[in-house]
């Protein structure tokens, strides 16, 4: 057995009744990692509850086991261990789930963000991993429990967090892990169709609206896009339909820092920040109470969206100066 997972494997061994969760506004890494670990622990004979602080986005509902994910914390259960995946700070699990962290329970954190907070009894954080799914792959590979359903979840986690292997964090090790996953018999075209090529109409309605609010700075090095609560309501779209908007300002030639502003609920603004050069945008996000990675970060800010846009853009332009 390798040294690196000794503590996590000990925590798994002494657990009987576990709950697994990822972060609020879940992405593919959060959902895929939750499911892969959950299905694996079940194979190891544990009583497993898989949870998510928010509803699972429609595009991830095809993942094996996704119908078993509870939205929120299922009550009346006596968990001995909580596994928190893809979260750098405890507030990422949402208020209700955070209460559980403070109770009489062993907390295990598996994550790949930089500058996180130490909040668990057992932590395994590897910021060189492109996705939490890569770390979970190593763990489950060592435990010898991967099957095709688990492989599909890990593949989805890694594929989504690497932008289909396009982002800088992608390494030869990422590809080696994925090669091993494919050997379990994943139907790649089926999985990628669900993830990327079968979008709800709302995604395009949101894009049409948001492109009216795509702007670039005078210097050409910052660009941003936005959609507010009223606009989302008019379309009848949910927050999950806004996920891809950040790719538009991000892929304009010459842009170094791209931003996306959206209002998932009235008066709450979600900011996504992406870097196309060496600027560490997790530092910018941290100034507004968020975090993330060097090239992809985010934060949630309460207040008026237009005021928040001004403040964050001003900060970004200063950093670029």
- Contacts with ligand AMP by CB under 6 A lie at 88-89, 92, 113, 272, 290-293, 296-300
Of 36 and 313, the one with the shorter C-beta distance to Mn ion is 36
| Least Å from the CB of residue 289 to ligand AMP | 7
CA nearest to 187, candidates 144, 145, 156: 156
By beta-carbon proximity to ligand AMP, the closer residue of 106 and 115 is 115
Q: Select 63 or 87, whichever has its Cβ closest to ligand AMP.
A: 87
Query: How far, in Å, CA of 87 to CA of 91, rounded?
Result: 9
Task: State the binding partner of 134 from ligand AMP, Mn ion, none, CB within 5 to 8 A by kind.
Answer: none
Q: How far is the CB of 245 from ligand AMP (least distance, A)?
A: 10
Question: Least distance (Å) from Mn ion to the CB of residue 112?
Answer: 6
Which residues, listed in sequence order, are joined to residue 71 by a DSSP beta bridge?
52
Q: Which is nearer to ligand AMP, 177 or 293 (CB)?
A: 293
**Calpha distance 259→272 (Å, rounded):** 6
Closest-by-Cβ residue to Mn ion is 29
CA distances from 308 to 15, 141, 220, 241, 270 (A): 44, 44, 21, 21, 10
| Cβ at position 170, least distance to ligand AMP in Å | 14
β-pair type (17-21, 47-52): parallel
Token output for 262 = 């959206």
What are 14's two structure tokens? 């002494």
Minimal distance, residue 30 CB to ligand AMP, in Å: 8
Report the distance separating Cα 270 and Cα 302, nearest Å.
9
Cα–Cα distances (Å) from 227 to 59, 68, 249, 293, in that order, read 21, 32, 13, 24
Q: CA 135, 138, 143 angle in degrees (round to 5)?
A: 130
E strand or H helix that includes residue 72 = none
Q: From the list ligand AMP, Mn ion, none, pick the one residue 300 interacts with, judged by a Cβ distance below 5 to 8 Å according to partner type.
A: ligand AMP
Complex with Mn ion: residue 15 or 132, whichever CB lies closer: 132
Looking at the Cβ atoms of 92 and 250, the one nearer to Mn ion is 92
Closest distance to ligand AMP from the beta carbon of 9 (Å) = 25
- CB under 5 to 8 A by kind: which of ligand AMP, Mn ion, none does 296 bind? ligand AMP
Binding site for Mn ion (CB under 5 A): 27, 29-30, 86, 132, 161
Residue 258 burial (CB count, 10 A)? 26
CB of residue 297 to ligand AMP, shortest distance in Å: 4
Return the one option of ligand AMP, Mn ion, none that residue 88 interacts with (CB less than 5 to 8 A, by type): ligand AMP
Q: Which is nearer to ligand AMP, 92 or 241 (CB)?
A: 92
DSSP letters for 21-41: E--SS--HHHHHHHHHHHHHH
């Amino acid at each position: 057995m390798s040294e690196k997972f000794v503590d996590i494997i000990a925590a798994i061994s002494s657990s009987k009744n576990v709950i697994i969760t990822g972060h609020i506004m879940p992405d593919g890494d959060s959902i895929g990692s939750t499911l892969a670990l959950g299905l694996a622990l079940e194979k190891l004979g544990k009583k497993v509850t898989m949870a998510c602080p928010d509803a699972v986005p429609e595009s991830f509902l095809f993942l094996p086991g996704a119908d078993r994910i509870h939205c929120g914390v299922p009550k009346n259960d006596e968990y001995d261990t909580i596994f928190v995946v893809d979260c750098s700070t405890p507030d990422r699990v949402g208020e209700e789930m955070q209460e559980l962290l403070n109770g009489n329970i062993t907390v295990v954190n598996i994550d790949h963000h930089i500058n996180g907070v130490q909040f668990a009894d057992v932590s395994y954080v590897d910021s060189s991993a492109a996705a939490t799914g890569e770390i979970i792959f190593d763990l489950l590979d060592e435990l010898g429990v991967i099957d095709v359903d688990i492989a599909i979840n890990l593949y989805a986690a890694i594929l989504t967090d690497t932008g289909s292997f396009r982002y800088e964090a992608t390494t030869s090790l990422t590809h080696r892990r994925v090669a091993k996953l494919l050997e379990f018999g994943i139907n790649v075209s089926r999985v990628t169709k669900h993830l990327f090529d079968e979008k709800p109409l709302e995604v395009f309605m949101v894009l049409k609206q948001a492109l009216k609010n795509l702007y670039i700075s005078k210097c050409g090095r910052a660009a941003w896009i936005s959609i507010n609560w009223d606009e989302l309501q008019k379309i009848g779209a949910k927050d999950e339909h806004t996920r891809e908007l950040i790719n538009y300002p991000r892929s304009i030639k010459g842009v170094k820092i791209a931003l996306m502003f959206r209002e998932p609920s009235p008066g709450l603004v979600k900011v996504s920040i992406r870097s196309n050069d060496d600027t560490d945008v997790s530092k910018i996000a941290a100034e507004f109470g968020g975090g993330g990675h060097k090239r992809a970060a985010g934060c949630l800010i309460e207040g008026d969206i237009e005021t928040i846009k001004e403040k964050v853009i001003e900060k970004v332009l200063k950093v670029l100066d």
